[in-house]
């Protein structure tokens, strides 16, 4: 005679903690596979209620990290993600749900889609991109250049274009054409502070130093970033912290972190000044 499985009729904080941790690690889990322990319908409903209260999201088939939060995490540290890859990396949503979440995320100014060599790429709002007025001017300028080139390249005598005429065409776009290079009035400490403000966790106010380094890699050397962090820690405007445990730090992130006392690795920064 087979024995009936015993169903758990209540959920405790430890179970909710474990399930929440599993969902956040996987980004999404089927509602039917949240717990290895069999639950009564009432206990299962209570588990879902508590998970939603902790900021997770319920869909018809899954419990997931909210789609907007997943999209935002893709852009941490200044990452740039091909638009076609977003659907592969965001879990637990249908294509229609993801499209709607992405459109809302962009509409609210949290991200932009830019075209890089024919590839659509999702980038963070801090990236320097042309605004609609500049795009309109670029389109008009491209049409003018194309028309002029047809005459320049037509049969007959060799022809060219005056540099001053070409410069005049692109003059309205000059502010956007300047490279994002460090200028004398943009000291490394200023750039690091700007990046820390942009990347900091809204609740904990912490920034992972590997994310900071990657976000500034096109503008500052690793040594310059580490010097700016050390100066900030010395004058009390920054607090540098080690990882809670070495096992939590990825091997590729270790070289990006400055060394701390007694062989520690400083992997987090927090602004102390307002």
pLDDT in tens, 14-73: 889 989 999 999 999 998 888 888 888 888 889 899 999 999 999 988 999 999 999 998
The proportion of the chain whose per-residue pLDDT surpasses 90, expressed as a percent, equals 41
The pLDDT assigned to 1 comes to 43
The pLDDT assigned to 131 comes to 83
- Pairwise pLDDT comparison (206 vs 5), residue with the higher score: 206
pLDDT in tens, 246-272: 567 788 888 889 988 887 889 999 998
The pLDDT assigned to 182 comes to 44
pLDDT in tens, 106-150: 999 999 999 987 889 898 887 878 888 888 888 998 999 999 999
pLDDT in tens, 138-160: 899 899 999 999 999 999 999 99
- Pairwise pLDDT comparison (169 vs 174), residue with the higher score: 169
Q: Has residue 192 got a pLDDT over 50?
A: yes
**DSSP output for 83-149:** HHHHHHHS-S--HHHHHHHHHHHHHTTS-EEEEETTEEEEE-TTS----HHHHHHHHHHHHHHHHHH
Give backbone dihedrals phi and psi of 270, rounded to 5 degrees, phi first: -140, 130
């Amino acid at each position: 005679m087979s024995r009936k499985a015993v169903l758990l009729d209540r959920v405790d904080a430890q179970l909710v903690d474990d399930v929440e941790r599993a969902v956040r690690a996987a980004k999404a889990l089927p509602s039917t596979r949240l717990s290895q322990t069999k639950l009564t319908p009432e206990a299962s409903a209570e588990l879902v209620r508590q998970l939603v209260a902790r900021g997770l999201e319920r869909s018809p088939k899954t419990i997931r990290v909210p789609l907007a939060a997943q999209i935002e995490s893709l852009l941490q540290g200044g990452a740039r993600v091909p638009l076609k890859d977003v659907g592969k990396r965001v879990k637990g949503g249908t294509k229609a749900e993801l499209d709607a979440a992405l459109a809302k995320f962009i509409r609210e100014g949290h991200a932009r889609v830019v075209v890089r060599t024919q590839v659509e790429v999702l980038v963070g709002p801090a990236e320097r991109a042309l605004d609609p007025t500049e795009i309109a001017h670029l389109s008009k300028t491209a049409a003018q250049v194309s028309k002029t080139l047809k005459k320049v390249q037509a049969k007959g005598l060799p022809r060219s274009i005056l540099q001053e005429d070409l410069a005049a065409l692109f003059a309205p776009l000059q502010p956007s054409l300047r490279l994002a290079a460090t200028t004398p009035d943009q000291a490394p400490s200023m750039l690091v502070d700007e990046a820390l403000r942009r990347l900091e966790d809204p609740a904990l106010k912490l920034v992972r130093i590997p994310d900071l380094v990657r976000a500034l890699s096109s503008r500052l050397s690793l040594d310059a970033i580490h010097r700016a962090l050390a100066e900030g820690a010395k004058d009390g405007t920054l607090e540098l912290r080690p990882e809670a445990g070495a096992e939590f730090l990825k091997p590729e992130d270790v070289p990006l972190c400055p060394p701390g006392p007694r062989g520690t690795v400083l992997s987090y920064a927090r602004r102390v000044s307002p």
